[in-house]
C-alpha cells in the first residue's frame, strides 16, 4: 500500500478509537458522578452537570489521544509510513 492509503486507513481507525475513548470516559465520569452523588441534584442542575461532564470527557479525550499519538509516532517513526496531511513539516510547501 502507498502512503496515502496508509494515511486514510490510519485516520479512519484513529477516529473510531477517539470516539470510543470519548464514550468510555464520559460513561466513567457519569458513573463517578452517580457514585459520589447518589441522590442526584435537581433536574436543571443535573442537566448542567451532564453537559459539564460531556465537555470534560471531550477535553480529557483530546489530551489522552494527543499523548497517545505522539508516543506511537515517536516509538515507531510513523512519518516514513504516512503522507503528511497538511503539507511538509519543515514549513516548505508540498511539491507533487
Domain map of the chain by residue range?
A: 3-80
Tell me which of 86 and 1 has the higher pLDDT: 1
Question: 9-18, 20-29, 38-47, 69-78: which has the highest mean pLDDT?
Answer: 20-29
pLDDT in tens, 29-59: 999 988 888 776 677 888 888 899 999 999 9
Q: Per the structure block, which three cell numbers stand in for 43?
A: 433536574
Close Cβ partners of 65 (under 8 Å, ≥ 6 residues apart): 14, 17, 18, 21
Q: What global pTM score does this model have?
A: 0.71
pLDDT at 23: 95
Summarize the confidence of residues 80-94 as an average pLDDT.
60
Average pLDDT over residues 21-35: 92
Amino acid at each position: 500500500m502507498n502512503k496515502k492509503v496508509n494515511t486514510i486507513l490510519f485516520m479512519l481507525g484513529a477516529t473510531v478509537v477517539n470516539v470510543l475513548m470519548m464514550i468510555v470516559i464520559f460513561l466513567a465520569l457519569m458513573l463517578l458522578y452517580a457514585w459520589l452523588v447518589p441522590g442526584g441534584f435537581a433536574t436543571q442542575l443535573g442537566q448542567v452537570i451532564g453537559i459539564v461532564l460531556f465537555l470534560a470527557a471531550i477535553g480529557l479525550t483530546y489530551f489522552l489521544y494527543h499523548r497517545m499519538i505522539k508516543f506511537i509516532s515517536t516509538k515507531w517513526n510513523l512519518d516514513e509510513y504516512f503522507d503528511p496531511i497538511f503539507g511538509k513539516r519543515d514549513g516548505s510547501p508540498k511539491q507533487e
